[in-house]
Every structure is written in structure tokens, then in C-alpha cells.
Structure 1
Amino acid sequence: MPVLCRQTLPILAMALVLAACSKPDKPVTATGAGQTTAVQSDQNATAEQVAKEARGDLQCPAKLTTAAPGANVPTDDVIGVRPGLTYEEAANLVMCSNDLLVVTAENGRGFNINTYGQKVRQGFIARFAEPKVFKTGKEIIKEMEAEATARGMNAVREDLKPGQVKWFVGTMGLPGQEHVLSVAREERFASDQTPTVDTVKAALIKKYGDPTRTMSTQSGYRSVFTTLVWAYDPLGRRIPETSPLYDRCTGVADPDQGANLSPDCGIAVAANIIAVRDNHALVDRLQVGVMDQSGGYKMIAATEQGLRQGDQQRQAQEVQKASKDAKAPSL
């Protein structure tokens, strides 16, 4: 699936694009959720040990200080993670949803805004911790050769093992004040816990209501691919089929897929139900995503404005200091 990296931000004109483009760096600690910590050890470690070290002193259930949405607001969360939460609240909620999940700052995808030298956290991913196994040089080379062969033969490479989950949460804001603008989660069901398509649809409708639209497509080796969308305008009103926004205000369910943001759209929820290849009545994996398009659009514009004002203030302070302390030139 083609995606774009480092998109530009047209503040008053075009829609914004947030794309998934690179691999993560280091795991993030639970406390503060913005500090990185490498799991360092010269010994083998189980996935549980790796996760425990990376998650730090995480306390569950996660505590939230951000106000809950109003009663008339559309349902806009994925297991409690929703637009508007702080970076730290979202990271802790995600990790509290599974003992093996580790959050990693995502520095390789996002919006190409002028940060004026500041570090803006534009999101994080979360995946299951993997066992730490030390290998010999020969073993490493053998694995690299096998991977190269698989790529050359276009072999299918599964991103998730049965029973695993991954997340991407997009954030934006001034450094240290970043808030969630999008969230997407994918779960691949264990072979002995595979739900039916009807069961998953019923659960989605119970949580988010009747979808704005439902589509079924054929998607390569993953076979039947059913998408449900719930779309609202910036005032929280459901978008009808007769509206010109009907085809424009769509959500993104895949954690690896880029997201379009438009000031004309509000909350957008999307779910992809991906069937088992040899039994289309059963679900192999489920992807669910939520974004606040108009809210995210405003958030990005406000962040860029705040960064610009901060840089102007810095320059003014430097000029003021220089006017007092600098020596006159020798002429």
C-alpha cells in the first residue's frame, strides 16, 4: 500500500495527510510516556520480562484528567483511547489494555510542519514485546538470507501473529503538550478464539451505532474485506448519503494507513473486518480507527502558530540581550 512521508500542511486550503512510513525507535516508559528507555541486558529475556522493563512503573488502570466528552457527542474511542487525550494518558491507556504491549515513539511519520528546532511528538505505536534472544553471527546471517529470499519471491509476510495487537496513535501540540488527534488498533485473533463476522458487526454497531455506510471488497490474499464507516460533521451531526461530505468524510482503521484531515469533517470512525481466507464467515483480524478531522486540523494549525510565536519571542529576547551586552564594533 503506497503511502506518503512528511506531508506539507496547507493551513487554509487543502486537506491534510498523515502517513505511516517508517519503523519505530525505542520503547517509551510508562511514567511520562515521553522518555525513551532501551531494554539493555546481556542475557536472554522472555517477552514478559522485556515488557515489564520497558513499561517502567506503569500503574493500571490508567488515570485520566482530561474531561470526558459530552452526552450528545458521537462515540469516539477505541478501548477508551480517543481524540483530545494527552499523549501520556493515551500511552498509559494503551499499555494497560494488555500486559505485553510496549509503546514506542514514532518519529518517522507525521506532518511536515516548521517546528523551529523544537521536538513535537507526532504519535506513537504499540506492539507486543518480543523475547530477547542472543544469536551467533552465523544465525543472524542465515536469518537475513532467508528474509532476502522471501522478499525476492514476494512471499506473504504477516505483520501480526495470532493473538497479537498493534496500535498507532497520532498526536499533535506544543512540545510536552501534545494531544491525540487519531487512533487506530488492529487485532489478529487467536485461532481458537476466532469470532464470526456477524458477531463482530453486532459488537461494532452496539458501540458506535448504525454505520453511515458498509462496503465489502476483495483484497488480495486476505480475501473478503468488510468496511464500516461512521461519519459526522464538525457539529457532531451524522452525515447523510445525500450530503456532499458523504464520500469525503471517511475514517482510517488500519494503523499503517495515512489519514486525511479536513476542516469540513468531524468525528470519523472506521472498522475493517478481514475474514479468514478459507472461511469468509469467520474473522481473521479486526481494525478499528477514530479521528477528529476538524479538531485535528485546528490542532495542527494552532501548534504551528504557537511554535512560530515562540520562535519570534526567542529572537526578540536575543536582540534585547545583544543590545545591552554586545560590544560596539571596532571601526
Structure 2
Amino acid sequence: MGLMFIAALVSACGSGKPGTAAPGRGMAGGDASGQDTGNATAEQVAAAARGDVSCPADTTPTPSGAPVDDIVGVRPGMTYEQAANTVMCSSPLLVVQPETGRGFDMQTYGQTIRQGFSARFAEPRVQKTGRQLAQEMEQAAMERGLNVARHDMQPGQSKWFVGTMGMPGQEKVISAARDQWFDEGRNPTIDSVEQALLAKYGTPTERRDRDTYHQLRWAHDPRGRLITETSPLYSRCNGAASPDDGVQLSADCGVVVAATVIPLRSNPALAQDLQVGVVDQAAGYQALTDTQQGLQAMDAARRAKQVQDASKNAEAPQL
């Protein structure tokens, strides 16, 4: 049975923990509420929000003989904190925020499970007049009416989503995805990007070349063996290259890496952006199952203790 990780782009600010947004620290111009005000560069915004980051990141290499399963050092099995630190070490402008609006629909019994985090480039903070805000809203409404696609990044930026699962405070990475939009004038060739992917991840299970995208997939079974076209798992073990997409979990599939290279419109031989995602389906499925069972056992223990306490401290009914 497969499980689908539900993608819904809603982010929330952190609470001052390392690697989460923390308002008001180290920035001039804060108001009485602790919120930052006044203009600030992207570097200043990032420095105030990133908290403690230790670089170079302490990463664990892929075990010998196992499929390559990392994206810029982030790989399944890392702790939430390790992954957040590694992501931020990939760029001094990346800020990590917990994701509370996407994840598995599961019974948490009142506990908080960190099901992942996103990371995006910090943007300059610019005080805008009411007129400027109104003009921006008018422009956005016009683009929606004309169905104009808006890219949510700028050239030279990247964004992440890292999915995690585990008991509270013990969450580990089950999936990761990164989108890199190449800087203007520095776009690599499609061929060089594909050659770099093949050099890192090896022979692909599948590749698709279209006018608007080039896709590659490296799918493995739970024992780490590459899935080929003759395998019954060939069409079942899929991944998600984009940070905006959800991932599928199945006990029948292992590590799946997916990559999408999007050509530059003005020159299809050059790459505009590269999306790469990885998921360990079997390990993620097991982590989800173990977490649900652990939460259920925790709640059962809580209820049993309440019954035990009631036998000692409960108020007798008046009859």
C-alpha cells in the first residue's frame, strides 16, 4: 500500500530555535512588538533569521555500495537539525522555516510532529507606500486574470523542501527536493547538467526528453538494486523532483531520485533551472508507521495513568 505526502504551500515562522526564523534579533529598527521595521538588505534579513549555523555542515556520506541519495549533502536518515543546518550551509541567504501546512493526514493525539521544513532566499525588506502596495496588488490580479505564470524565485536563487517524520524531537529526513534557478548569463548547457547528474547518480531507470523539460529517474528497490524496465516495480516507484510536489511512500520501493532540467525559453540548449528530489520510500513508510504506533502507545499510556490517578484522587459522586 502506498501513502501520499500532501503538498500545500503554507509556511509558519519558527520560535527562535537554531535554523528557524526568529524576529527582532540583531536588527536595528525593531518596534515595541519585536517585529523588524525599516529597510534592510537581504543579507541583514538572513543574518537575523538564520540563528546558529555551523559550516561546513557535518554530513554523513552514502554507505559504500548503496545508491547515491543526497542532494547537496542532504539525505534521508539525517536528523531534522542536521538537514536544516546543511541546507543553510549551501547558501548564506537561505532561511529555513517549519512547514505546518503540508504533510501526512495522521492522528497525532495532541503531539506536535515536525513533518518538514522549507528554505528560501531572504529578500530585502523595503518600506512601501500604500500606493506601491496597491499597484502591486493590481498587477498581481491582472496577471491572474490573464493566466500569466509567475515564478516564485529570481535568477540565481534556490529553494528547498525537506520532509521529515518521527516521534516529537526525533524526526528524521525521509525526502528532500531542491530547485535551482541559474543566474542570468551563467546558464549551463542542458548536456552539461545531464552529464553531471549521470556522473553523480549513475545509470538512470528512465529518461524523458521533451521540448519543455528533460526528466531522469533513478529508482531502486528496498535492497538498493536499480529497477529496470523489466521489473514490475518500474512504473510504481516514482519520485518528485520539485519542492512543490508531494512524494509517494511504499514498502515495495527504496531510494528514488528524480531530476527535471528546464530549458531556457530563448535558447533550448541552455538550462534555466534544475530540480532534484530524493525519497527513501521504504524507510519513510516504516518511519510513518512507527511514529503512528508510537503516538498511539503514548496516548494509551496517558489514558491509563489518568485512570490510575482517578482511583486515588477522584472526587466521589454525591448520591
Q: TM-score, normalised by structure 2?
A: 0.93
Query: 1:58 maps to which residue?
Result: 53
Give the partner amino acid of 1:62.
Answer: A
1:195 paired with 2:197, answer no
Cα RMSD (Å):
1.4
Query: 1:42 maps to which residue?
Result: 37
Change over 3 Å in CA distance of 1:299–1:186 after alignment to 2: same
Give the partner amino acid of 2:42.
Answer: A
1:255 paired with 2:216, answer no
Query: Matched residue of 2:270: which SS?
Result: strand
Query: 1:6 maps to which residue?
Result: none
Change over 3 Å in CA distance of 1:27–1:321 after alignment to 2: closer
Q: What count of residue pairs does the alignment treat as equivalent?
A: 309
1:183 paired with 2:176, answer yes
Q: For 1:307-322, what aligned pairs fall within 5 Å after superposition?
A: 307-322=295-310
Change over 3 Å in CA distance of 1:202–1:233 after alignment to 2: same
Give 5+ residue unaligned stretches, structure 2: 25-34
Distance (whole Å) between structure 2 residues aligned to residue 38 and residue 15 of structure 1: 39
Q: For 1:157-306, what aligned pairs fall within 5 Å after superposition?
A: 157-218=150-211, 224-306=212-294
Change over 3 Å in CA distance of 1:291–1:28 after alignment to 2: farther
Query: Matched residue of 1:272: which SS?
Result: strand
Query: Matched residue of 1:191: which SS?
Result: coil
Per the TM alignment, residue 29 of structure 1 is displaced from its structure 2 partner at its CA by 5.2
Distance (whole Å) between structure 1 residues aligned to residue 119 and residue 3 of structure 2: 24
137-146 or 241-250: bigger deviation: 137-146
What's the CA shift string for 1:183-216, capped at 9, x where partnerless?
0000000112100011011111111011111102
Query: 2:105 maps to which residue?
Result: 112
Q: Is the 8 A contact 1:21 1:108 kept in 2?
A: yes
Per the TM alignment, residue 62 of structure 1 is displaced from its structure 2 partner at its CA by 2.3
Give the partner amino acid of 2:52.
Answer: D
22-31 or 292-301: bigger deviation: 22-31
Per the TM alignment, residue 43 of structure 1 is displaced from its structure 2 partner at its CA by 1.6
Q: Is the 8 A contact 1:26 1:105 kept in 2?
A: yes
Q: Is the 8 A contact 1:262 1:297 kept in 2?
A: yes
Distance (whole Å) between structure 2 residues aligned to residue 258 and residue 217 of structure 1: 22
Where in structure 1 do 4 or more consecutive aligned residues deviate above 4 Å? 27-30
Give 5+ residue unaligned stretches, structure 1: 1-13, 219-223
Distance (whole Å) between structure 2 residues aligned to residue 44 and residue 241 of structure 1: 56
Per the TM alignment, residue 23 of structure 1 is displaced from its structure 2 partner at its CA by 2.4
Per the TM alignment, residue 38 of structure 1 is displaced from its structure 2 partner at its CA by 2.9
What's the CA shift string for 1:217-260, capped at 9, x where partnerless?
34xxxxx2000110100000111110010111121101101111
Per the TM alignment, residue 58 of structure 1 is displaced from its structure 2 partner at its CA by 1.5
Query: 1:137 maps to which residue?
Result: 130
Distance (whole Å) between structure 2 residues aligned to residue 302 and residue 236 of structure 1: 22
Q: TM-score, normalised by structure 1?
A: 0.90
Q: Is the 8 A contact 1:28 1:55 kept in 2?
A: no
Give the partner amino acid of 1:283.
Answer: A
Distance (whole Å) between structure 2 residues aligned to residue 68 and residue 320 of structure 1: 48
Query: Matched residue of 2:285: which SS?
Result: helix
